[in-house]
Chain A
Amino acid sequence: MEETLKIIVLVKHVPDAQLDRHLNGADYTTDRAESILSELDEYALEAALQLTEAQGGKGAGHQVIALSMGPAGAANAIKKSLQIGATEGVHLKDDALAGSDAAATSLALAATVRYLSAGSPVDLILTGMASTDGETSLVPAQLAERLGLPQVTFASELEISAGRITARRDSDTHYDTIEAPLPAVVSVTDQINEPRFPNFKGIIAAKRKTIITLSLADIGVNPAEVGLSGSWTAVQNAEPRPPRTAGTIITDEGDAGIQLVDFLAAQKLL
């Protein structure tokens, strides 16, 4: 059975976690000046590409749609996804979206998925295990709830067959096998694969792929339902954590292990 797959991969443009990150303004929203494609989303994109390659690959007409919601800069995350191998890009961009929390984000994304399902149904929505900025891990579950779909989260292996998805999920004490009917929302961990880098051919090919830009009006969402006004949570106060000050640093001259135990004893930690 070779059916064409239509997979949406949610990609997010996030502040580079290797640099200092900041909250801005009276609403304490995230400063997105120096942003990149969220590293954890690369695993979701790779999983989508591997699923389509396992079912006939490029010639088979599968769709891997990189969808990002965010300001102008989010187009960079989509471009990178197209270079890596996504077949098309969709950018949900609207000034009214700024400051959306997980609930408002999931509302806008659910409306976008419905919009993209109009011609042919979506089989799978893939996400990373968390964003590396908000880190709440709420959006995949909320998107699934809004669309009335099953969710399979933290998949470390993934297979599609006969309209069902089978995943492996690890916890500290056991491994589970999870099954769900398609369509489904699936998040993958950083253990599932080794994401590929864009190669020269991919970078050239990406120039011919289009990014569709959608506004809230296009997807039929009232601006009051999203952004700060449509959010169900608010950040009331935020202050930078005082940096930890370095303590005593010694160089081992043969008795550092003993000095370590002395330090622990003095701190009453033995």
Chain B
Amino acid sequence: MANVLVFIDNQSPTLKKSSLELLTIARTLGEPVAAFNGEFNDDVAAALSSYGVTAVYRPGSADLDDYLVAPKAAYLAEAVAATGAGTVLIENSSDGKEIAARLGIKLGAGVVTDVVGVEADGGAHKSVLAGSYKTVCRATTPVSILTVKANSVTPEPAPTATTPESVTIEVPAAATANAARITGRSNKATSGRPDLLDARIVVAGGRGVDGDFGPVEELADALGAAVGASRAATDAGWISHDAQVGQTGKTVSPELYISAGISGAVQQKAGMQTAKVIVAINNDAESPVFEIADFGIVGDLFEVLPQATAEIKKRKG
């Protein structure tokens, strides 16, 4: 079987769910091999083995993380050459897409981004024009590079574990010579809530919260949800730009999206209309969000959200 190269850029002690998803998809396309960067330990090795990885490639230099994407693309190009892989799977983060972009030029390989499913023959499913079309795309080149969105499949270990061989790949020295370098980093405060992109439930607020995200956050915490926002709310400075859902923010596909005080214009819809269930609360019955809501409430969010929060707490005991 053909090798399928999965790029795993691991920045934590355990593998991310999205990395396990890529490995699960890789097994449906051929023999999974991993090009690894970042923190490697026994837990990581065990996970790679249980997901059926037959070879783990690691870079000969440890400073790839000091630069933006370019050296990682150079490393992957070497790994593709060493493995003879016909398909490369990369996560669909902004860095992932740029690594894919540069790798594509190096290899003369087509790149399909925002993939949500891959056929055994390489056809890649993706939505375009802000979710208004579903398409099947493919690379027409010998190597195809796909960046796959999180939550596209359920991670499943291989039927039988493997003992992957370990191979070091030398990164060309020129790869870092003219690359953009990260010269400083400061961490942001964390909320303790789930990550917006991975969350099962998102509660989002818009212009209607009028500066007060309290009721939105309390409902989110009662549901164990992430907090999102419309561009109007982030532009007003009521909440961090990181929370923005929409065309210029994040695209989310949670099981449940609760939209409070958001009109639901195209800009917002682009980021959330693939949610499985949409609930909308807005005091304007004419808001476009009601056209896509499975359950809509015309009412005051400052009445409805606290009542729902109290009821959830009561039922959960």
The interface of chain A, by Cβ under 8 A from chain B, is 15, 17-18, 20-23, 28, 30, 40, 101-103, 106, 129, 132-142, 144-146, 148-154, 170, 172-181, 184, 189-191, 231-241, 244, 246-252, 255-261, 263-265, 267, 269-270
The 21 listed contacts between A and B (C-beta, < 8 Å) are A23-B135, A138-B100, A140-B98, A145-B105, A149-B178, A150-B178, A170-B242, A177-B183, A177-B184, A231-B140, A235-B137, A239-B135, A241-B131, A247-B293, A247-B294, A248-B294, A256-B304, A257-B303, A258-B307, A260-B297, A267-B277
Cβ-based interface call for B305 (8 A): yes
On chain A, the residues within 8 Å of B306 by CB distance are 257
Please state if A251 and B304 are interface contacts (CB–CB under 8 Å): no
Complex formed: what's the CA distance from A189 to B303 in Å?
36
Given A232-B108, A232-B110, A238-B134, 19 more A-B residue pairs with CB atoms under 8 Å apart are A40-B248, A102-B111, A134-B128, A136-B114, A141-B102, A142-B102, A142-B104, A154-B94, A170-B241, A173-B187, A177-B185, A178-B68, A232-B111, A232-B141, A233-B138, A236-B137, A247-B296, A258-B307, A267-B277
A249 with B183, Cβ < 8 A, contacts A144-B102, A261-B308 known: no
CB pair A231 B316 closer than 8 Å: no
A248 and B132 contact, Cβ closer than 8 Å, known pairs A136-B113, A232-B110: no
**Quick check: is B186 within 8 A (CB to CB) of the other chain?**
yes
Q: Please, what's the 1-or-0 string for B199-228, where 1 marks a CB less than 8 Å from any CB in chain A?
A: 001000000000000000000000100000
Residue B29 CB within 8 A of the other chain? no
Is A249 touching B293 in the complex (CB atoms < 8 A)? Answer: yes
Task: In the complex, identify which listed stretch (B35-43, B81-89, B163-171, B284-292) lies at the interface while the others stay far away.
Answer: B284-292
Whether B113 contacts A21 by the Cβ 8 Å rule is no
Cα distance A106–B281 when bound, in Å? 44
Task: A237 to B305: give the CA distance in the assembly, Å.
Answer: 42
Question: What is the number of contacts between chain A and chain B, taking CB atoms within 8 Å?
Answer: 258
Inter-subunit contact B267/A180 (CB<8 Å): no
Q: CB-CB contacts of B304-317 with A at 8 A, as 1s and 0s?
A: 11111111100110
| A176 engages B184 (CB within 8 Å) | yes
| Pairs A-B, 8 closest by C-beta atoms | A257-B307, A252-B299, A232-B110, A141-B101, A177-B184, A180-B180, A247-B294, A257-B308
Does the CB pair A238–B133 fall under 8 Å? Answer: yes
Number of interface residues of B (CB under 8 A): 91
CA distance A220 to B149 in the complex (A): 38
Flag whether B181 is at the interface (Cβ < 8 A): yes
Which of A15, A180, A233 is in CB contact (< 8 Å) with B137? A233
CA distance A146 to B105 in the complex (A): 7
Closest A residue to B186 by CB, please name it.
A175
Least Cβ–Cβ distance between B142 and chain A, in angstroms: 10
Q: Among A101, A153, A240, A257, point to the contact of B68 (Cβ < 8 A).
A: A153
Contacting residues, chain A, for B281 (C-beta < 8 A): 256, 260
Residues A234 and B140 in contact, CB atoms below 8 Å apart? yes
Do A173 and B188 touch (CB < 8 A)? yes
With contact pairs A234-B137, A244-B292 given, residues A261 and B299 touching in the complex (Cβ less than 8 Å): no
User: A152's closest neighbor in chain B, by CB?
Assistant: B180
Given contacts A142-B104, A174-B185, contact A137 B97 (CB under 8 A): yes
Interface contact B181-A179, CB-CB below 8 Å: yes
Known: A28-B135, A238-B135, A258-B307. A145 touches B101 (CB 8 A): yes
- Contact bitstring B111-151, A, C-beta under 8 A = 1, else 0: 11110000000010001111111111111110000000000
B247 within 8 A of A: yes
B180 and A151 within 8 A (CB): yes
Asked if A17 contacts B130 (CB within 8 A), the reply is yes
Q: Which residues on the B side are within 8 Å of A246 (C-beta)?
A: 290-293, 296
Query: In the complex, A86 Cα to B271 Cα: how many Å?
Result: 32
Are the CB atoms of B298 and A184 closer together than 8 Å?
no
Contact A176 B303 (CB under 8 A): no
B25 within 8 A of A: no
Contact (Cβ within 8 A) A180 B179: yes
Of all chain A residues, which has the CB nearest B307?
A257
Whole-angstrom distance from the CB of B99 to the nearest CB of chain A?
8
CB distance from B266 to the nearest CB of A (A): 6
Q: For A250, what are the chain B residues with a Cβ–Cβ distance below 8 Å?
A: 296-298
Tell whether A17 pairs with B141 under 8 Å between CB atoms, given A136-B114, A250-B297: no
* Contact of B135 with A237 in the complex, beta carbons under 8 Å: yes
The answer to whether B188 and A241 have CB atoms under 8 Å apart is: no
CA distance A173 to B189 in the complex (A): 8
B45 on interface, CB distance cutoff 8 Å: no
Instruction: Determine if B160 is an interface residue (Cβ-Cβ < 8 Å).
Output: no
- A194 nearest in chain B by CB position: B235
Given A240-B133, A260-B279, verify A151-B68 contact (CB < 8 Å). Answer: yes
Q: Assess the A132–B247 pair: CB atoms within 8 A.
A: yes
Q: Is the CB of A103 within 8 A of B111?
A: yes
Contact A141 to B241, CB < 8 A, known contacts A103-B110, A233-B139, A250-B297: no
Name the B residues within 8 Å of A241 (CB-CB): 127, 131-134
